[in-house]
Structure 1
Amino acid sequence: MSSQFTVEKTQHPKTKPDQQNLGFGKHFTDHMFLMNYTAGEGWHDARIVPYAPLSLDPAAMVFHYGQAVFEGLKAYKTEGGRVLLFRPDQNLERLNISNERLSIPQIDEALVLEGIKELVRTDADWIPTAEGTSLYIRPFIIATDAALGVHPSPQYLLIVILSPVGAYYPEGLKPVKINVESEYVRAVRGGTGVAKTAGNYAASLRAQEEAEKQGYAQVLWLDGVEKKYIEEVGSMNVFFKINGEVVTPALNGSILSGVTRRSIIQILQDKEIPVVERRISIEELYEASVNGTLEEAFGTGTAAVISPIGELNWEDKQITINKGEIGQVSQELYDTLTGIQNGKVKDTFGWTFEV
């Protein structure tokens, strides 16, 4: 245990949920990690305490001006009983990138990583072991100063909570149908698209709601200026296999740099499967569909890992991909990445951190 923070164990442990019916983000463990920030003092009072509601002033700035950032990563228990984190250093590095964009003070990444490790150790008996399950880790930071006025808060609270989860999509790797969004936009260069901030997700809800009413699982976002170039799918990065080459939109100042995205690119390169980061338009994708060179499509993210896309709806044109079935590369990537995460595939990249 780190001497830089304290641990207070709960006196009232919760009943653990059925591993076969976890859902996603519905259950939370017995403890949480907290750390405060005060201007002039810096980050302080790092601690693990029993999971409990927060008490905040109604004037807390997060409620009014949206100064909030978050991350998502997972812990896995191997068949041999080891507990592994997948690339937590990358998530904490990105948290600081989000902090910088929202004028939130930088965290000590090493200290927070030790706090996450100790929190996972404290609630290790909550880590599910059923196939496809994991322990989801949600670090987030909120502005807590009780004052109305548009300026960065002088006070913040960092919180880490844990949730045992099943598959993000109950249907598993079954390809989903996606609606190409033509009215709303996700982000623009110079905005907050590069940050993992709460407001980005709030702004996406209306398009998601309308897509679901039409029978689609998610939306494919186009760029916010020309509404022509593909950016993300839902809250995930997106990949397309066209004529033997895997293409993903290049990071352009409005697309979030996903840890899973980065990992998938490295796995593709390791397998010597051609992969390129570049601009790709929805017109190009449609033409590839028409001429038969659009072979696979999938989203990537921490929650779902790989989410195959079986159909796109663009301006009432139906783009069917691989006959609506998961592609060979998508399946291979899913098996490789989840295998590394749960210890079944040798980690030659040095991505896993043992708790």
Structure 2
Amino acid sequence: MLREDSFREQQTRDTVRRSPDGQVEMRWESLRGTGHHTPAERFFVRSHSGVPRIDPRTWSLRLHGDGLRAGPVEFGLEDLRGLPAHSMTAFIECAGNGRSLYTIQQNQRVEGTPWGLGAIGVAHWTGVPLAVVLERAGIRPDAVDLLPRGLDRPYVRDGVDHGSVRRPLPVTKAMKDVLVAYEMNGHPLRPEHGFPARLVVPDWVGVASTKWIGDIEVSTEPLHSPWSTDFYRLFGLGHPAEGSAPLTTVPVQSAFELSAGAQIPLGCEYLLTGRSWSGSGAIRSVEVSTDGGGHWLPARMVGPRLPHTWAQWELPWRPERRGPAELMARATDETGVTQSLGAPYNTKGYLFGAVVRHPVKVV
């Protein structure tokens, strides 16, 4: 059986794709054989106004608002490190991951960065549960919403200054499983990944996981920002004029650890590998087709199947006919949801969850 070493000459030496506006997308073929976590240097980067440089010696996280019992509270980085540490393995995924596939597979025009499927990464995060920080700050029992704000530069679009990235987060989610993270894969966060501290909001669209976090408003009333009203909602045919509710969980998705257009030798057994994930729970099973959806075979699951992260899988394939072939993978999560063959359209190209048609060539 041919494994990854036999195909190194086909794999690009680059592990990411960099766009002119500073966004960084992971190359899926670079994950083959790397283990469960995404190396920090391959983890995707999405920023609205560039990466700020922050002095950790003077940085602090300020909590304020009428949802606190006794006024504003500040935590320096050492204060956070002095609180009980907690770790979790979780993916962070841009809401626009797979956006280009609306055009490639469904012939639909959409707005925004034309991501492939590489605007996702899984890391081992270490920090303090946001619930602990809120309790130390004296959160009131009638608080309903938080508004975490990043220290990035104001985002200006079409002449409108929207301010720094900030997006409401319900207290119920914050108290459940959100982390104020200061380490990624056992090392301090890199600047592009939110140094000195960021939120990690498991299973939700990436914009909820605020990077370079500087303050959190705690409120007894619902809060709003452009990132929950103008952006990160579904717009277009079939949606209200004001858009859908703000986006939260991501759909079920799957990807092959193989470059598009890769060449596979005829008659040799090649091990197809990939990963699947869902914002609604652990992956239960994965099926793979090597003939464009004509026939499906169950993939063998590799390693644990846990919530908040992806599941790895593999399937041996011995192609018997030269020429183009179309690989497909579809996953089912523990709630019983299976990837569909098409993604509901929205003008901003969010939440692409359809089965991806992955072209290769048998030679």
TM-score (norm. length: structure 1): 0.25
